[in-house]
């Protein structure tokens, strides 16, 4: 009885809808869609309109809220009139789905001091970690045991970075030297590179689609400059000086621009052929702690994707370019910066010097910001014990994930952008689901603070390391 | 002391003695021996002053020599690897170096069962009943003396309501009721003001425990949720035991030390 009257009230059982993609272009014209249509039927519709060969998954949003129920139920709940045309924005989701990890498969000891940084190689087959005992260790993922111990640094190893083709591993230490390692043999490649006068705060490689094979990388240091190095020539190519205080993070963008964030509250953009300053982005009131680019994940993984195929060198560049363009889309690259002044800024650096949006809400300093692999979400970890989720395109606040009882140090995304991982001072890791915006899994087990987390690009494993000197591998 | 320049005038007019240079050279050569003889043979305050001056000169000379030595062989100073490695984003931040604060709940539960505690104050001075209670006279002629008023600090939980005044034997004055304690962590050496959850044990007797009296040596349970402690299993710790270390009735506040 109830159903009949409500249906009669709605009239024709259909509603006028207009499907648009995230950038605003309409898919066909407005059409009548039955009100019993849910996300599944809409997916089929979109696939048919786009003439996709395979059924790709899509998620639908009506005025920034995700549509999880049939259209009719949504209209009823929100009292939207049937007369007006309903705009439904569709977004493609990743074709593969990552299983959330829920158990610690192995606790590997080996380091003699706290583990400071961990990183999976871009193909997800190798794992490297740097620690306070001055060694870099490579671990075998099949047997989950130590593989190589790389000695060569004189002080704590603060950062490591894999080249996007997976052939080089570079690590920076507290004494300002950089060591290049051969990951297959675990040996030092040549001598440590000197040049920086104080400790290294960050390392970033040149993207594969700009130059293959990978040769150049940029490092940032506390002494205020960033240096571009060539790994085959083993020397500094260009020194980018200009910051007055320590440079806290550096990122090599997909359009060939280097972004550096510093404690002097500014972000500088440099061009890479001559090392000239292009632009300076001002706005923050305190140290810039962390930078993130919307295409960062794709730049890090290069030509590797979820299928796990290997490509010969000349094809690598093409494939990497293809993946980069797919993620970037038509809009310009976006940059988000997190600072000690408790706020973040969303910039479109190639468009304008002014920030696009200021993201406020955190109650303590923002330690780490990270774009999701598809560029749709921004996650920020802060010392106020919360992780906040923002819309990656507009910068609008979506939700705050609360649950940690200590400052959150680092976040990491799964390769399909559906799960978010956070590691904190309270020794736990937590996995948050983006669709339901709740806690998916709690991963306790570390005995002390968790300093570094990473999710492998193939989605199989999560690694975390911290003050208790052990590396923990988590599996689904 | 020459006043005027007649000495210099004479020097200009007539020059110096013929053996002036030689005498000067020899005198300077002897000066070293004279200085050392003076330093060795002076006694009293004079000797002390000379010794002090000589020592200051020696130290200064040593420093300049070392400085000169350093510049001749320039080496990059070997920085030693320090303890307490932190990642790059924490280096510039002053974080209090801390001991591990996690406690093992199983161990604690076992201790609870045994009723034995390793406490900072194992023995306390016993408090006599007449010190603890004051006799309150009641009744129309003030002859009845069965009421007692507690003279020490007490804790009554949040849902406490008095018994009807005609029947209550023990009076706990509201001025002596406390809800918060200043709890010190023994290893971190920092003090927090935490809410009291309850009284676990008063060493003077079970009666005082049930009344909620807090004297020196009492074990209380405090709310530590603001410390952000987590057990190895991942659960959040929100209550811990602490022992009272002062006499709250004299100070007006409760100081306690956390039992880790």
Are residue A200 and residue A148 in the same domain, yes or no? yes
The answer to whether A378 and A312 are in contact (CB under 8 A) is no
Are residue A67 and residue A182 in the same domain, yes or no? no
The whole domain housing A258 covers 101-473
Are residue A85 and residue A105 in the same domain, yes or no? no
Are residue A26 and residue A129 in the same domain, yes or no? no
* C-alpha to C-alpha distance for A333 and A349, rounded to whole angstroms: 7
Q: How far apart are the first and last CA of chain B?
A: 79
Domain-embedded: residue A76: yes
Domain-embedded: residue A1: no
Contact between chains at A447 and B234 (C-beta distance less than 8 A) = no
Last residue of a domain, one of A90, A125, A153: A90
What's the pLDDT tens digit per position in A164-209?
Answer: 888 899 999 999 999 999 988 888 888 899 999 999 999 999 998 8
* C-alpha to C-alpha distance for B242 and B21, rounded to whole angstroms: 86
Domain-embedded: residue A5: no
**Sorting pLDDT into bands at 50, 70 and 90, what band is A338?**
very high
Are residue A58 and residue A195 in the same domain, yes or no? no
Number of structural domains found in chain A = 2
Domain-embedded: residue A230: yes
Domain-embedded: residue A246: yes
Chain A environment of B229 (Cβ under 8 Å): 405
Are residue A80 and residue A192 in the same domain, yes or no? no
Question: Which residues touch A73 (CB under 8 Å, ≥6 apart)?
Answer: none
State the pTM of this model: 0.70
Return the CATH number at A372.
2.130.10.10
Return the CATH number at A52.
3.10.20.90
- Best mutation target, A172, A197, A426, A464, to test chain B (most B CBs within 10 A): A426
Question: Which residues touch A299 (CB under 8 Å, ≥6 apart)?
Answer: A164, A207, A208, A252, A253, A254, A293, A324
* C-alpha to C-alpha distance for B216 and B254, rounded to whole angstroms: 9
Are residue A56 and residue A129 in the same domain, yes or no? no
CB burial readout A164-174, b (16+ within 10 A) else e: bbbbbbbbbbb
Domain-embedded: residue A369: yes
Q: According to the model, what pLDDT value does residue A439 have?
A: 92
Arithmetic mean of pLDDT over chain B:
86
Does A263 touch chain B if contact means CB atoms closer than 8 Å? yes
ipTM of the assembly? 0.81
What's the pLDDT tens digit per position in A6-58?
Answer: 444 444 577 788 888 777 777 777 777 787 777 888 888 888 888 877 777 88
What's the pLDDT tens digit per position in B4-27?
Answer: 999 999 999 999 999 999 999 999
Are residue A358 and residue A400 in the same domain, yes or no? yes
Domain-embedded: residue A154: yes
Q: According to the model, what pLDDT value does residue A8 have?
A: 41
Q: According to the model, what pLDDT value does residue B197 have?
A: 94
What's the pLDDT tens digit per position in B105-136?
Answer: 445 555 666 655 567 888 888 999 989 999 99
What's the pLDDT tens digit per position in A91-113?
Answer: 777 777 788 888 888 888 888 99
Domain-embedded: residue A111: yes
Are residue A17 and residue A68 in the same domain, yes or no? yes
Last residue of a domain, one of A65, A90, A115: A90
What's the pLDDT tens digit per position in B55-67?
Answer: 999 999 999 998 8
Are residue A105 and residue A86 in the same domain, yes or no? no
More confident residue, A153 or A42: A153
Chain B environment of A339 (Cβ under 8 Å): none
Are residue A192 and residue A282 in the same domain, yes or no? yes
pLDDT, mean of residues A299-321: 80
* C-alpha to C-alpha distance for A462 and A309, rounded to whole angstroms: 21
Are residue A178 and residue A146 in the same domain, yes or no? yes
Last residue of a domain, one of A64, A90, A116: A90
Contact between chains at B81 and A263 (C-beta distance less than 8 A) = no
Does B94 touch chain A if contact means CB atoms closer than 8 Å? no
């Amino acid at each position: 009885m109830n159903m009949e009257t409500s249906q009669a009230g709605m009239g024709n059982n259909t509603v006028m809808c207009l499907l648009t993609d995230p950038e605003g272009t309409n898919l066909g014209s407005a059409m009548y869609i039955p009100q019993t249509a849910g996300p599944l039927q809409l997916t089929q519709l979109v696939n048919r309109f786009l003439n996709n060969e395979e059924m790709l998954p899509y998620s639908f949003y009506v005025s920034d809220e995700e549509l999880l129920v049939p259209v009719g139920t949504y209209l009823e709940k929100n009292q939207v009139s049937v007369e007006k045309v309903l705009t439904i924005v569709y977004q493609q989701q990743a074709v593969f789905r990552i299983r959330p990890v829920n158990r610690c498969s192995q606790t590997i000891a080996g380091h003699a001091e706290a583990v400071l940084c961990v990183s999976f190689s871009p193909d997800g087959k190798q794992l490297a970690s740097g620690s306070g005992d001055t060694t870099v260790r490579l671990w075998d993922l099949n047997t989950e045991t130590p593989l190589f111990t790389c000695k060569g640094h004189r002080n704590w190893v603060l950062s490591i970075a894999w080249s996007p083709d997976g052939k080089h591993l570079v690590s920076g230490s507290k004494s300002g030297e950089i060591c290049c390692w051969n990951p297959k043999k675990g040996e030092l490649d040549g001598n440590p590179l000197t040049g920086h006068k104080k400790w290294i705060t960050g390392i970033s490689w040149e993207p594969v689609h700009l130059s293959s094979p990978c040769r150049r990388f940029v490092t940032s240091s506390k002494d205020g400059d960033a240096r571009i190095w060539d790994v085959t020539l083993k020397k500094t190519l260009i020194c980018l000086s200009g910051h007055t205080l320590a440079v806290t993070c550096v990122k090599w963008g997909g359009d060939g621009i280097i972004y550096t964030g510093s404690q002097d509250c500014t972000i500088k953009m440099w061009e890479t052929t001559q090392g000239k300053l292009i632009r300076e982005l001002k706005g923050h009131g305190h140290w810039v702690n962390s930078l993130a680019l919307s295409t960062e994940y794709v730049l890090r993984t290069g030509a590797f994707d979820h299928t796990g195929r290997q490509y010969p060198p000349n094809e690598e560049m093409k494939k990497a370019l293809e993946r980069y363009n797919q993620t970037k889309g038509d809009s310009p690259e976006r940059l988000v910066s997190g600072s000690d002044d408790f706020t973040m800024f969303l910039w479109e650096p190639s468009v304008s010097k002014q920030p696009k949006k200021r993201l406020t809400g955190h109650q303590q300093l923002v330690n780490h910001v990270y774009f999701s692999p598809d560029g749709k979400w921004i996650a920020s970890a802060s010392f106020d014990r919360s992780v906040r989720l923002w819309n990656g395109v507009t910068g609008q606040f979506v939700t705050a994930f609360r649950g940690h009882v200590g400052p959150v140090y680092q976040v990491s995304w799964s390769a399909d952008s559906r799960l978010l991982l956070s590691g904190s001072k309270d020794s736990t890791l937590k996995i948050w689901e983006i669709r339901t915006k709740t806690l998916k899994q709690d991963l306790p087990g570390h005995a002390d603070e968790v300093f570094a987390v990473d999710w492998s690009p193939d989605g199989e494993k999560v690694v975390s390391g911290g003050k208790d000197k052990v590396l923990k591998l988590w599996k689904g | 002391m020459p006043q005027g320049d007649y000495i210099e005038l004479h020097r200009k007019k007539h020059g110096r003695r013929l053996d002036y240079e030689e005498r000067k050279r020899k005198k300077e050569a002897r000066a070293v021996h004279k200085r050392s003889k003076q330093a060795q043979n002076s006694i009293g305050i004079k000797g002390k002053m000379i010794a002090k001056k000589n020592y200051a000169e020696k130290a200064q000379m040593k420093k300049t020599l070392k400085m000169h030595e350093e510049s001749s062989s320039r080496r990059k100073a070997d920085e030693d690897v320090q303890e307490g490695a932190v990642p790059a984003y924490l280096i510039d931040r002053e974080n209090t170096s801390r001991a591990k604060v996690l406690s093992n709940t199983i161990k604690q539960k076992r201790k609870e069962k045994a009723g034995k505690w390793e406490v900072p104050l194992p023995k306390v001075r016993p408090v006599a009943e007449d010190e603890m209670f004051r006799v309150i006279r009641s009744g129309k002629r003030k002859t009845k003396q069965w009421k007692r008023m507690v003279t020490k600090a007490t804790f009554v939980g949040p849902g406490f309501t008095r018994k009807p005044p005609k029947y209550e034997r023990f009076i706990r004055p509201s001025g002596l009721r406390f809800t918060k304690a200043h709890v010190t962590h023994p290893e971190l050496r920092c003090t927090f003001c935490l809410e009291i959850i309850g009284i676990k044990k008063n060493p003077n007797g079970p009666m005082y425990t049930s009344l909620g009296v807090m004297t020196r040596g009492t074990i209380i349970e405090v709310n530590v949720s603001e410390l952000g402690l987590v057990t190895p299993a991942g659960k959040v710790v929100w209550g811990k035991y602490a022992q009272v270390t002062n006499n709250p009735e004299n100070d007006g506040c409760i100081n306690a030390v956390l039992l880790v």
